[in-house]
Amino acid sequence: MTLSCKIFSTTLQGEAQDWFHTLPLHSIQNFSKLSLVFTKEYLSYRSIKKKSDHLFNMKKDPKESLPIYVKRFKAEKAKIVKCDDSIACSAFQKGLPANHPLFGKLIMGQNLTLADSYALAEKHSLWDEAKYS
């Protein structure tokens, strides 16, 4: 095993380091072979970077309550590094069915921020709870 391989092994931590120590003796002759084996092992672990427009795939399920949709949307948004709030706001609105009462309020509201949209959703949810209690 080359010096590069031994140095590489010192950079590994946790499961990757455990994996390295399970390699059969003399199975790796050079760094190219180690790179290939490591990439094959960990390629599926690579996280896929999502962009703000990923949020347009979010849709409120008809059986889902508004608070659950908001919670799920916020969780997805949190996974996006440097998420553009204006895109997120549009995606949040588009995720609601056109016949949902909140949809009209959000569309008619001019220059609503994402925080404004969340606040309206919360007010709408509280109003619904009071109405049906």
What pLDDT does 50 receive?
Answer: 81
7-23 burial, b at 16+ Cβ within 10 Å, e below that, comes to ebbeeeeeeeeeebeeb
Q: pLDDT by residue (tens digit) across 8-41?
A: 888 888 777 777 877 878 888 898 888 888 887 7
**Domain residue spans of the chain:** 3-45, 52-132
What pLDDT does 87 receive?
Answer: 93
Q: pLDDT by residue (tens digit) across 42-99?
A: 776 555 678 888 999 999 998 999 999 999 999 889 888 888 999 999 999 999 998 8
Q: In whole angstroms, give the CA distance from residue 40 to residue 87.
A: 35
List, as own/partner pairs, every contact residues 113-118 make where C-beta atoms lie below 8 angstroms and the sequence separation is at least 24, other chains included: 113/85, 113/89, 114/85, 114/86, 114/88, 114/89, 117/89, 117/92, 117/93, 118/70, 118/74, 118/92
Give residue 128's pLDDT band: very low, low, confident or very high (50, 70, 90): low
Q: In whole angstroms, give the CA distance from residue 93 to residue 103.
A: 6
- Say what the pTM is: 0.59
Q: In whole angstroms, give the CA distance from residue 91 to residue 47.
A: 22
